[in-house]
Chains A and B, each alone.
Chain A
Amino acid sequence: MDLQELRITASLAYLDLEEEEFEKLQSAVEQLLQYFSKMMEVDIEGLPPTTHALVRENRTRPDQVLPFTDTDSLLENAPETEDRFIVIPNIL
């Protein structure tokens, strides 16, 4: 994968990487993609994909409200709050 592709991929993943990191990760990504290319040897004709090991169909549950009362414990994990709001930088 060339550096340009890697930059696009990183941006899609919301990762800002330093130049040094890009170089290091590029060779690691290359090495693994090379390794993945081994999969091209397999004849996959007629094979359906496995999406989950044993779950074969979509499963639903009743659309019921299950109350969770300890909302404070969730807010306490927020890095910055004001009253009961989570603070983020300005949206311009």
Chain B
Amino acid sequence: MSSFTRWIGLLTDPKTFDSYMRYVEQVEPRIGAFIQFDPHLGLRGSSPEGLLRGVPFAVKDILAVKGFRLTCGSRILEGFVSPYTATVVEKLQRAGAVVVGKTNMDEFGMGSSTDTSFYKQTCNPWDPERVAGGSSGGSAAAVASGMVPFALGSDTGGSVRQPAAFCGIYGLKPTYGVVSRYGLVAYASSLDVVGVCAASVEMTEEIFALIRGKDERDQTSLEEAGTSGVEGFHEKNSNKIVRKIGFVSGNLGLDSGVERAYQKTQEVLRSLGYEVQPIELSMLEYYAPVYYTIATAEASANLARYTGIRYGYRPEYAENPEELVRKARSEGFGEEVKLRILLGTFVLRSGFQDQYYQRAQRIRTAIRKDFDRVFQEVDVILSPVFPTQAFKHGSEGLDPFQQKVADRFTTAANLAGIPALSFPAGLEDGLPVGFQLMAPVFGEELLFQVARRFAEAVPPLKAPFNTSPWS
């Protein structure tokens, strides 16, 4: 039975369509999850038949959906309308699911709060004074507030898992190359993956099964990705039963609420019969520096395409083409994006490459080897997602540097290319805490297996803003 039962047909029946619209009108002004919301437009792109017919879903505004705008949360893409649709979205549309809108995000995926968006602020459905996380904050908030059962996001260094943890939902970062990136705007190409935010493990699993698969239009998609479909993903781990879970130990610098929940989560897993043992990730303190070196370097190259000439923001006046490009970029990019472009340009400059970019790439190999070693000892790894729970908007929260240092737990899976699933693990001080499970490449099934059993013991909770009758 589909885990979407209550949502099926919602947008294809005029009566339920109206009640859906009324629900969103009531919730969205207080959450701000969407940059564009237009289910009528979405309906035109979807099959009337299929497993997910009439099921609403949201798409992070970094993925192309024909006819919808595609801004990446940036002024430089203001008004851009996508001429085509991303493969992942197409697959879901063929299954009958309907894009209801494009979700808010940190500009080009650069941030952990969604507050670097040029367009609006997104609020956490558990407490609107707090951020929904980022960069896929709009997608996570749309799910947690019951406006959609699932949403697509992208995860370059934790951008699906961290907002999922902040909002009390599930967030999957698949193995690199298993889900097509055709139609995903590039941030850091060796790290970017399309991910899933969803309200339950079963939904996450079902959507992953539908969107995975090799795509001829994506040169980095892998043979091992198989073909999409709820059955037929013959990964090497499919018959494996998880027995040993290694939890990341040591002085992790967690806030007290996260620390408490981390202990409790280990106990619950033990009570479920897993052998839970401490492991040490010897490269942990290098994840964030290595990640930011590689990500900014790749971003500086990928974002070179925004010139204001063929599309996007154009300054009012420029003397010549070069000035046009300079002005478009200087006026079109926000501060965080400029910072990362500057850093990336610097670490790639001749004379500095060996010291930064190439060194980071070589340490990345050491990080991958370290994971290979750990996966000889345990089947999956349990780790924090973020050292804090959802923080407050503005200066009361974490500053941009603290946010980057805090990415130390999530960036590992992107650097190693392995799958990771963030799952809700109850509340502390009235706010959700999430942890992540990591598995060897193509081991998504192992993550679902453990998360399913954990959810039986600690079921996910609904946010106070989620009064949706369908979720």
> B-contacting residues of A (Cβ < 8 Å)?
1, 5-6, 9-10, 12-17, 21, 24-25, 28-29, 31-33, 35-36, 38-40, 42, 44, 47-55, 59, 61, 70, 73-74, 76-80, 86, 88-92
Contact = CB atoms under 8 A, between A and B. Distances in A.
Contacts of A86: 309-310
Contact of B177 (A47, A54, A80): A54
Given A47-B365, A55-B177, A88-B324, A35 B339 contact: no
B326 A47 contact: no
B64 to A, nearest CB: 11
10 contacts: A15-B342, A17-B338, A25-B342, A32-B292, A36-B289, A38-B285, A39-B356, A52-B190, A79-B312, A89-B320
Interface in B194-228: 216, 219-220, 222
Contacts of B345: 9-10, 12-13
Given A9-B342, A54-B441, A28 B401 contact: yes
Contacts of A51: 190, 361
Contacts of A28: 339, 400-401
Nearest to A60: B219
Contacts of B401: 28, 31-32, 35
Contacts of A33: 343, 346
Contact of A36 (B220, B292, B304): B292
A49 B338 contact: no
Q: Which 5 residue pairs across A and B have the least CB separation, nearest first?
A: A53-B417, A49-B361, A73-B83, A79-B314, A77-B311
B362 A44 contact: yes
Contact of A29 (B325, B346, B361): B346
A89 B315 CA distance: 11
Given A15-B326, A38-B286, A91 B321 contact: yes
Select the residue from B304, B323, B360, B416 with max chain A CB neighbours within 10 A.
B360
B interface majority secondary structure: helix
B319 interface: yes
Nearest to B414: A53
Given A9-B349, A32-B292, A54-B441, A77 B363 contact: no
A49 B289 contact: no
A48 B292 CA distance: 19
A44 B363 contact: yes
B342 A10 contact: yes
A49 B358 contact: yes
A39 B359 contact: yes
Nearest to A26: B342
B286 A42 contact: yes
Interface string B383-407: 0000000000000000011001100
Contact of A42 (B219, B304, B321, B366): B366
Interface string B307-336: 111111110001111011111011001010
A61 B219 contact: yes
A32 to B, nearest CB: 6
A53 to B, nearest CB: 3
Contacts of B335: 21, 24-25
A75 B30 CA distance: 37
Contact of B324 (A24, A52, A70, A89): A89
B349 A78 contact: no
A10 B102 CA distance: 32
B181 to A, nearest CB: 12
Contacts of A36: 289, 292-293, 347, 356, 360
B341 interface: yes
Contact of B343 (A32, A38, A59): A32
Contacts of B360: 36, 39
B339 A29 contact: yes
A92 B319 CA distance: 10
Contacts of A79: 308-309, 311-314
Which of A6, A24, A47 has the most C-beta atoms of chain B within 10 angstroms of its own C-beta? A47
B289 A38 contact: yes
A88 B308 CA distance: 10
Contacts of B461: none
Contacts of B175: 54
B343 A29 contact: yes
B176 interface: yes
B130 interface: no
A17 B330 contact: yes
A36 to B, nearest CB: 5
